[in-house]
Structure 1
Amino acid sequence: MSILSISTRRARCALLAGAVAACSVAAHAETWPAKPITMVVPFPAGGGTDLVVRSIQPLLQRELGQPVVIDNRSGAGGTIGSGFVARAAADGYTVGVVTTSTHAVSVALYPKLAYNPAKDFAYAGFIGTSPYVLAVHNAMRVADARTLVARLKADKSQHSFASVGVGTVSHLMGEQFQKFVGVPMVHVPYRGAAPAYTDLIGGQVQIMFDNPVGLAPYIKAGKVAAIAVTASTPLLPEVPTFASQGVPGFEQQLWYGIAFPKGTPAAIVDRFNAALNKVLADKAVAEDLAGKGVTARPGTPSALQAAVQQDIPYWGKIAKSVGAIGE
């Protein structure tokens, strides 16, 4: 047999193997989902991100025809759960909730981040966006941003600010506010929002930035005081924005989205995106999210991918300006 014949046969075998593999992937995508899907939430149960996901879970299960099981894997500013998703099998049965914190801010704060947000995920689409609210312990006895700044400058006692974890937007905004005020404050990171709220209410910490979704019930109940929001929200219509109070540089919003591990078949990602968009277009779901301070944002996988690419340098600049690093 000639060398040419052997080479030709090998080439044909390679093409055949490739065709078989392609057919296998296509067949898998056509039958997906055939079993429950695990949705990793990289923050604790009861926190803002968890509550947002639970708003879409019931209808998402109905659209996909399979249970969507929430798996809370918190820690290290959401990077532990996100790293788990990045390493999961790309078979469509593990999907992760991504946020500005886990997939943009994290790059700046963790030099040894276990995943690359720009390369290690197949993004499926946004869930929605939410502004931030600055809340303080009631003993601070202030009602607006300028008064709070003046109080912090005049008061020589040590104050602290809580965050939902090192490397989160909650953390960076606290650092940015500390720099703006010009008074040292102690950063107290928590493993998610729920324990941070408990200590803010109790006075163990005095200040906290977070989304309205978790803080609003405590604000409305008078357990903590809302000072300002980064953008208007119907959940807290009476709370003015930083800009309207003459405090510049605080217009940031958080986005929530969904991503599969890199290599997940495009047909599966597109199928999930279609189901997600249908859920977000549901009036009851949109109203439920709005009630938690989140604006539903149906869209394409590429739109979320673009947001990740854009926000990595944006938050990196802020992190560098305040000297924030992961712990």
Structure 2
Amino acid sequence: MPTPSLIPARRRLLAVAASTLAVAGWAPCAAMAQAWPSRPVTIVVPFPAGGGTDVAIRSIQPQLQKELGQPVIIDNRAGAGGTIGSAYVAKAAPDGYTAVLATTSTHAVSVSVYPNLPYAPERDFVYAGFVATSPYVLAVHPSLRARDVKGLVELLKKNPQHYSFASVGAGTVSHLLGEQFKTYAGVPLVHVPYRGAAPAYTDLMGGQVQLMFDNPAGLVPSIRAGRLIALATTAPNALLGEVPTFAQQGIPNFTQSLWYGLAFPKGTPAPVVQRMNQALNKVLADRAVSADFAAKGLNARPGIPAELQAAVKADIPYWSRIAKDVGAKID
């Protein structure tokens, strides 16, 4: 079943559209939106440079700063599955000059796997809108010599104690999908969490770990170069059109996608949030941006702020069930 946040909800959108029109008609808000920004805006990426999250925002950074009329600074603050950077933004001044590139991992999955999470995604943020969505790819080291998922499972079962899977961090979607696959395969794979995608890719290509779930944006260059093998995707993707989905290989329940979106600290003025949403939508509507995203395995996702807010609300219980099923918990 697809991730709940990505299922259209017409009634919700109609209601949101009405509220958006009301905000747009408020003259003082419009004046405030025009005044912002008057200095550089920092977007915190809660993962290291080189991974899919970083690629997504850097792909639109030049166009976004042109639209806002101010520099957009990317600040990579990695650690703890993206929760360190997210917590930093939750506590930042709500003046519109610090935002976070929120993801499914940091603002939906984290609630269930981090008992002492230092922020509440629904309480401590206001959401400006989606940036992009992406499926996940199961990639393996070429030495495994598997060319489909069932072949991989057969191989793993022959030496069940010898294999491990990487993730971009404990408590991320990358982690939970690995645990879900471990349960499906029925083998005791060892989870090896990393501080982001780039170091995980290095060890995966070096054979220190044998398999990994992540999005195409970071994995495709290594797949194209033959340093990694893609066995399946969670949803069709034009960039990896030759790679069958899990469903096409007769394997259910691996249909999840990842979203990226911009969030500000709670208390950020509504006109600022709306102005950022307008800038985002204008950038994402550009055909050149859509083409660039597609070449990186990303899908541009324009929309309104309340859509992302609703996605967070829907995805928290969805991922909570999966985390409970696979026993994922970070002390």
User: TM-score if structure 1 supplies the norm length?
Assistant: 0.91
Gaps of 5+ in 1: 1-22
Task: Give CA deviations for 1:137-177 in whole Å, capped at 9, x if unaligned.
Answer: 11100000111111112224420000000111000000000
1:160 aligns with 2:196: no
Instruction: Give the number of aligned pairs.
Output: 306
Match of 2:254 in 1: 250
Larger radius of gyration: 1
Query: Quick one: percent identity of the two aligned structures?
Result: 67
1:8-27 map, 5 Å: none
2:80 aligns to what? 76
What does the per-residue CA deviation read over 1:220-249, in whole Å, with 9 as the maximum and x for residues that have no partner?
A: 110011110000101111000000001111
SS in 1 for 2:153: helix
Aligned-residue Cα RMSD (Å) equals 1.5
C-alpha distance in structure 2 between counterparts of 1:25 and 1:82, whole Å: 27
Shift in Å, 1:292: 1.0
Judged with a 3 Å threshold, the aligned counterparts in structure 2 of structure 1 residues 63 and 26 are, in CA distance, closer, same or farther, namely closer
Aligned partner letter, 1:31: A
Distance 2:63 2:323 in 1: 37
2:329 aligns with 325
Write the mapping of 1:120-269 to structure 2, written as runs, cut at 5 A. 120-269=124-273
Q: Which amino acid aligns with 1:55?
A: S
Q: What code does the residue aligned with 2:255 have?
A: E
| TM-score w.r.t. length of structure 2 | 0.90
Tell me the equivalent position of 1:44: 48
Q: Determine the C-alpha separation between the residues in 1 that align with 2:110 and 2:78.
A: 14
Distance (whole Å) between structure 1 residues aligned to residue 225 and residue 94 of structure 2:
44
Any idea what SS the aligned residue of 1:123 has?
strand
Residue equivalent to 1:13: none
Query: Cα offset for 1:25?
Result: 8.3
What CA deviation, in whole Å up to 9, does each residue of 1:29-49 have, x standing for no partner? 441100000110000011110
Change (3 A) 1:267 1:24: closer
Query: Partners of 2:169 and 2:330 in 1: how far apart?
Result: 9
**Residues 161 and 188, structure 2, Cα contact 8 Å, conserved in 1:** no
* Residue among 88, 98, 104 paired with 1:100: 104
Indicate if the aligned counterparts of 2:175 and 2:193 stay in contact, CA closer than 8 A. yes
Please report how far the alpha carbon of residue 26 of structure 1 lies from its aligned counterpart in structure 2 after TM superposition: 7.8
**Letter of the structure 1 residue corresponding to residue 273 of structure 2:** V
Question: Which residue in the other structure is 2:304 paired with?
Answer: 300
Question: What is residue 65 of structure 1 aligned with on the other side?
Answer: 69
4+ aligned runs moved over 6 Å, structure 1: 23-27
